[in-house]
Amino acid sequence: MSGDMAVASSSRSPVLIIGSGVAGTACAIRLRSLGVAVDLVEKSTFPRAKVCGCCIGEAGLNAFSQLGIRDEVLDLGMPTRHWCASLAGRRIELAIPLGVALSREVLDPLMVQAAVRCGANVSMNCTATIKQNLHDAVSVQLDQNATTRLQDYACVVVASGLRSGNCGGLLPWTEVPHGPFGISMMASSVDVDSGVIYMACNPDGYVGLVKLADGRVDVAAALQSGQSSMAAGDPVTRVQRILSMSQFASVELSEFSPVMTTPPLRRSRRAGHGRVLAIGDAAGYVEPFTGEGMTWGMQGGIAAAELIASKLGDLNDVGEAWAQKLAALLRRRKRTCRFVTTALRSPAACRIAAGTLQLFPSLANPLLRSMNKS
């Protein structure tokens, strides 16, 4: 991993990826496997904590297989095989396809190192700002170690997460940020079983818990926003209240850190224009409920890489092509997640679902298959 940005010596400028989360690194790894030169820049240093449910399902493991790191992920993570929910005062337990729970402090550096092994130029503590979308290149300002310089790239992929800026004015929001916000923390004293994804739901939101390989428990929630919801207390108090009303025995947050929150989760933007593309959370977000967000990010990164590689001879309209491709890739999956997460906040829907799944747990199988399609 280089301390200074190294530009590949080639007659064709490399692709720049801004952000080295799961979407950005997946895109970098796939581009390198297709023989495309890649510069990957990240404004943070790793390891870093992130608001994340830390759960990856069967489709996510398939994405890791495509990237050549499935075995490493399984070695470092905690396998998950069951889902346990508290719905309308009832405890529901379901078997789920093999997945894994893995903290972002572990996963993000693992994926960055995989990108380095593939030959990507990676620079940490480097901020990239799109300055101009030219006819044959994208001009980007790179700031690192108190040094500023401009660099032209054949294509720029924005993968810098929920807080991505306006991408040089090229990719405006089509659905402005709204809806619930996220909160997560790591707890050290929570009595939950390994290999089980727990979810407690009520009208204020839902809270997920999963034990990691190091013994800590990741606690991640999506809570209602707005003045009336905020009057219910601070986010940690609201998470604790949801857990205290659940059907899980001995779930109590006594020691936890750090507490992190997100801006409103629901958002969409124009996913591409000219030679600029947005992937992962930078392209839009619908809050998932069992870790689909990371899977969508990797799938999107892989698909974007394959599109870029296929259009290397003429990248002038790769952004427009990507906007269409991403919509087709995620439309059904996001619609399903939005339906489920909305239902989880409805007492009537939760009562119906709880009663039905207690009697006929196999009815959940079509939904599980749908969410785990590659």
Residue 61 has pLDDT above 80, yes or no: yes
Q: Averaged over 7-25, what is the pLDDT? A: 76
Confidence band for 176, pLDDT divided at 50, 70 and 90 = confident
pLDDT at position 190, please? 81
pLDDT at position 10, please? 35
Residue 346 has pLDDT above 90, yes or no: no
> Per mean pLDDT, which range of 31-35, 131-135, 191-195, 225-229 is the poorest?
225-229
pLDDT at position 87, please? 83
Domain ranges of the chain: 15-371
Confidence band for 5, pLDDT divided at 50, 70 and 90 = very low
Q: Which residue has the higher pLDDT, 291 or 75?
A: 75
Report domain 15-371's class.
alpha beta
Q: Averaged over 318-322, what is the pLDDT? A: 96
Q: Averaged over 194-211, what is the pLDDT? A: 91
When the pLDDT of each residue in the chain is averaged and rounded to a whole number, the result is: 85
pLDDT at position 80, please? 96
Residue 334 has pLDDT above 60, yes or no: yes
pLDDT at position 1, please? 47
267-316 pLDDT, tens digit each: 888 999 999 999 998 998 766 555 678 998 999 999 999 999 999 989 99
pLDDT at position 37, please? 95
pLDDT at position 12, please? 44
Residue 2 has pLDDT above 50, yes or no: no
Confidence band for 164, pLDDT divided at 50, 70 and 90 = confident
Confidence band for 189, pLDDT divided at 50, 70 and 90 = confident
Count other Cβ atoms within 10 Å, centred on residue 178: 13
Share of the chain above pLDDT 90, in %: 48
pLDDT at position 49, please? 86
Share of the chain above pLDDT 70, in %: 84
Residue 99 has pLDDT above 50, yes or no: yes
Q: Which residue has the higher pLDDT, 313 or 23?
A: 23
| This prediction's pTM | 0.88
Q: Which residue has the higher pLDDT, 164 or 337?
A: 164
Q: Which residue has the higher pLDDT, 89 or 56?
A: 56
Q: Averaged over 77-82, what is the pLDDT? A: 96
pLDDT at position 144, please? 93
Residue 321 has pLDDT above 80, yes or no: yes
Residue 148 has pLDDT above 50, yes or no: yes
